Amino acid sequence: MPTREEILKALESVIDPEIRKNVVELGMVREIAIGEDRVDVTISLTTGGCPLRNHFVVAVRKAVRALGVEEIGVEFDVLSPEEKAALQQRLGMKSGLPDGSKASLAQVTNVICVGSGKGGVGKSTLTVNLAAALAAEGKSVGVLDADVWGYSIPRMLGLGSERPPVSAERKILPLEAHGLKVMSIGFFVAEDSAVVWRGPMLHKALTQFLEDVDWGALDYLLIDLPPGTGDVSMTLAQLLPQARFLLVTTPQATAQKVARRAAEMATKVNLDLLGVIENMSGFTTPGGERFAIFGEGGGQQLARELDLPLFGKVPLTMPLREQADAGEPLVATDPDDPASQAVRQAARGLIAATPTVELPPILQELPGLPVMQHEPKGATLPMA
Ligand SMILES: Nc1ncnc2c1ncn2[C@@H]1O[C@H](COP(=O)(O)OP(=O)(O)OP(=O)(O)O)[C@@H](O)[C@H]1O
């Protein structure tokens, strides 16, 4: 078993997304209990109703699991008023500590960035269809189109360039389509106009999407990244220490090599890799003859090289393209199409690979604390 010091060192990777400092530095690690085959960590929150619990459970488990510990318990208590005052002083804050209520991603269990490296491999098509397949499995799902240069999600979900409404709390409300919550840069710029944002402006736009959009409680937020790496993944890694990266590639060796570079970049900026989906994996004629138009095996090879699961191989089918052009996810309109079946299988694999967060029993028993439970999902923790 790791030592207390090793665990504390690992917990330095657990960032409070609002204060943007790690929990060790913030003095929020109350207790570390090292058992024979398990570790229990108690995190002190700034407020009992802090909706960031969910984020901390996932991040603490990930940090301690990296030390080879299988069984990890995460408990919570609340900083005393004196401890809070001391923390506030240490941070040089004049006003109160954040209570988590402004973090619009606080109730999002899984944030998954879908990226490819190479353009045109079907990243947006798969994002939309995976989202619809996750929704069909009973999950609550949001889609953020972060492909700021080539946003195509609104079109693929049949949404125009209508501006999203703003709530009384001055939060931007995502539009809804096919049971999904959707946000895209495309809602804010004139149709077909090119967005030439770089560096700080891009950072600002993405920050706003992530912080000012009222996503509410979601099991999954899928983020469609622009092709390539760079500014967007850097920004996301800074803003979303809990995000994971799903790689899309075609069977072609060139696409797979570029995807591997994207994976390396993601790792560099500390985005955890989740798995691989191969798209455009062969075409079968109505007569049953199969053509490996883009070759074979790229997804499998990429998954093997990176030691990741291959969630699926989605074939080329005309309806997948046609339905995307018509603004409908194929998995919703024709779940039996071979491409739909492959995407649905990938969604089930994704669900299995992203375990939902258990509600700590103590929170279910606390009187007077509003607890929001999502049966049968059981994935979302209480909100303030
Ligand atoms: N499995 C498939 N079968 C048939 N057509 C597909 C398939 N996957 C994607 N396409 C089509 O290929 C084109 C490119 O797909 P898409 O726009 O999703 O790629 P992308 O990787 O997001 O591109 P970009 O890099 O420009 O954002 C689209 O016309 C889409 O409908």
Q: What CATH number corresponds to the domain at position 127?
A: 3.40.50.300
Annotate 33-92 with DSSP letters as a single string.
Answer: EE-SSEEEEEEEESSTT-TTHHHHHHHHHHHHHTTT--EEEEEEEE--HHHHHHHHHHTT
**CB burial of residue 269 (10 Å; 0-12, 13-18, 19+):** middle
**Tokens 């506030």, located at residue:** 88
**CB burial of residue 115 (10 Å; 0-12, 13-18, 19+):** buried
Determine the longest span between alpha carbons in the chain, in angstroms: 75
CATH number of the domain encompassing residue 55: 3.30.300.130
CA of 362 to the centre of ligand 1 (A): 47
Is 124 within any annotated ligand binding site? yes
**Tokens 């779940």, located at residue:** 335
Q: Are residues 156 and 230 in the same domain?
A: yes
Is 120 within any annotated ligand binding site? yes
Q: Are residues 95 and 114 in the same domain?
A: no
Q: Are residues 65 and 122 in the same domain?
A: no
Is 275 within any annotated ligand binding site? no
Cβ–Cβ < 8 Å for 327, 159: yes
Q: Are residues 24 and 149 in the same domain?
A: no
Classify residue 177: in a domain, yes or no. Answer: yes
Classify residue 371: in a domain, yes or no. Answer: no
As given in the structure block, the two tokens for residue 44 are 């002190």
Q: Are residues 251 and 325 in the same domain?
A: yes
Is 268 within any annotated ligand binding site? no
As given in the structure block, the two tokens for residue 93 are 């804050």
Classify residue 205: in a domain, yes or no. Answer: yes
CB neighbours of 146 closer than 8 A, spacing ≥ 6? Answer: 113, 185, 206, 209, 223, 224, 225, 226, 232, 236
Classify residue 203: in a domain, yes or no. Answer: yes
Host domain of residue 21: 4-101+356-365
Using most ligand atoms within 8 A of CB, pick from 321, 337, 343 the residue to mutate for ligand 1.
321
Q: Are residues 174 and 307 in the same domain?
A: yes
Q: Are residues 16 and 148 in the same domain?
A: no
CA of 210 to the centre of ligand 1 (A): 25
Q: Are residues 72 and 152 in the same domain?
A: no
CA distance 337 to 135: 18
Total structural domains in the chain? 2
Q: Are residues 40 and 75 in the same domain?
A: yes
Classify residue 17: in a domain, yes or no. Answer: yes
Classify residue 379: in a domain, yes or no. Answer: no
Q: Are residues 55 and 119 in the same domain?
A: no
Classify residue 337: in a domain, yes or no. Answer: yes
| Complete edge-to-edge strand list for the sheet that includes strand 175-177 | 175-177, 180-184, 141-145, 218-224, 108-115, 244-249, 272-279, 310-314
In this structure, which residue's CA is closest to atom 9 in ligand 1? Answer: 122
Q: Are residues 170 and 194 in the same domain?
A: yes
Using most ligand atoms within 8 A of CB, pick from 125, 248, 279 the residue to mutate for ligand 1.
125
Classify residue 302: in a domain, yes or no. Answer: yes
CA distance 238 to 140: 25
For the Cβ of 316 lying below 6 angstroms from any atom of ligand 1, the answer is yes
For the Cβ of 147 lying below 6 angstroms from any atom of ligand 1, the answer is yes
Please report the atom of ligand 1 found closest to the CA of residue 147: 27
For the Cβ of 149 lying below 6 angstroms from any atom of ligand 1, the answer is no
Walk along the chain (384 residues) and give the pLDDT tens digit of each residue. Answer: 999 999 999 999 998 877 778 899 888 999 999 999 999 999 998 776 666 787 888 899 999 999 999 999 999 988 888 888 888 777 765 555 555 444 567 778 888 999 887 888 999 999 999 999 999 999 999 999 987 777 889 999 999 877 888 776 677 889 999 999 999 878 877 655 555 566 667 777 777 777 788 888 899 999 998 877 666 777 777 777 678 889 999 998 887 788 888 888 888 877 888 999 999 999 999 898 999 899 888 899 999 998 999 999 999 999 999 999 999 999 999 999 999 999 999 999 999 988 565 444 444 443 333 333 333 333 222 222
Q: Are residues 57 and 161 in the same domain?
A: no
